[in-house]
Amino acid sequence: AQSVAQPEDQVNVAEGNPLTVKCTYSVSGNPYLFWYVQYPNRGLQFLLKYITGDNLVKGSYGFEAEFNKSQTSFHLKKPSALVSDSALYFCAVRDRELTGGGNKLTFGTGTQLKVEL
Amino acid sequence: DAGITQSPRHKVTETGTPVTLRCHQTENHRYMYWYRQDPGHGLRLIHYSYGVKDTDKGEVSDGYSVSRSKTEDFLLTLESATSSQTSVYFCAISEPRTSGTDTQYFGPGTRLTVL
């Protein structure tokens, strides 16, 4: 079974400060990990993914995420937050060892990021 | 949202009526998915398709059926809508993992209200 947890329903940060949105996962094998962002009344937009290799993954809009196997975490980070980053962020996981099953993802419950002036 | 459209975008219906939502893609991706999004639950997979006429259940498939008669279209049907099916429905597409481009891409969503 695969699962993912986003322990914070909401994260508040001041513009210009660094931000972190937390994600931990559980899989039987090795993970594929994804971050998506959702703006109001829009679909989910892909930000970045970890497949293998470098533990620090860089994505769209200046976001990056760090894969930590020992802590089973994949936290999303940005060095300097913008008001326009305010949105709902989802972490998702798929067990790399699972074959078939249509590449199903399991999503977290989402974290609302609010960036204030 | 490019390459994926969903129709209708908004729908209000009454309990007990049938409802069909359509997902259309122009990317020729093999896999298609239907999710529902509810507060506190994130996205949950309803059904998915791994090819024309090939579909399988997700984690919340009760009360839903799907059909895929051609690559570009994936239909989600609520045979008899209930208030618990009030939600926002998202379609997604992807290619097989072996293609190396297996990221799922999402449509704009359909907001369904069942009265």
pLDDT higher than 60, residue B99 = no
Report pLDDT for A13.
98
Question: Distance between alpha carbon A42 and the CA centroid of its chain, in Å?
Answer: 17
What is the per-residue pLDDT for B47?
96
> Is pLDDT above 80 for B101?
no
For residues A104 and B49, give the distance between their C-alpha atoms in angstroms, rounded to a whole number: 10
What pLDDT is attached to residue A22? Answer: 98
Give the lowest-confidence range in A10-14, A60-64, B31-35, B95-99. B95-99
Q: What was the pLDDT predicted at A81?
A: 97
Q: What is the pLDDT of residues B58-85, one digit of tens each?
A: 999 999 999 999 999 999 999 999 999 9
| Helix residue spans in chain B (DSSP H) | none
CA distances from B95 to A106, A117, B22, B28, B50 (A): 17, 40, 19, 9, 9
| Residue-wise pLDDT tens digits, A29-64 | 889 999 999 998 889 999 999 988 889 999 999 999
Partners of B90 on chain A (C-beta within 8 Å) are 43-44
Confidence at residue A58, expressed as pLDDT on a 0 to 100 scale: 95
Q: What is the mean pLDDT of chain B?
A: 93
Q: Do A42 and B109 touch (CB under 8 A)?
A: yes
Q: Do A44 and B43 touch (CB under 8 A)?
A: yes
Instruction: Tell me how far the alpha carbon of residue A75 is from its chain's centroid.
Output: 6
Digit-coded pLDDT (tens) for A61-116: 999 999 999 999 999 999 999 999 999 999 999 988 776 666 789 999 999 999 99
B103 touches chain A (CB under 8 A): yes
How do beta strands A73-78 and A10-14 pair? unpaired
Q: How buried is residue B47: exposed, middle or buried, by Cβ count under 10 Å (0-12/13-18/19+)?
A: buried
Residue A47: what pLDDT? 96
> Which residue in B37, B65, B70 sits closest to B51, CA to CA?
B70
> What pLDDT score does B1 carry?
53
Tell me how far CA of residue A51 lies from CA of A34, A70, A96, B108, in angstroms.
Answer: 9, 16, 9, 26
Give the pLDDT band of residue B96 (cuts 50, 70, 90). Answer: confident
Q: How does pLDDT run across B27-58, given as a tens digit for each residue?
A: 999 999 999 999 889 999 999 999 999 999 99
What's the average model confidence in pLDDT over A5-21? Answer: 97
CB nearest to B96's CB, from A43, A90, A103: A103
CA B20, B21, B25: angle at the middle one, nearest 5?
A: 140
Tell me the C-alpha to C-alpha distance, in Å, between residue B97 and each of A31, A32, A109, B6, B77. Answer: 13, 11, 24, 24, 28
Interface touch B103/A109, C-beta < 8 Å: no
Q: Does B98 touch chain A (CB under 8 A)?
A: no
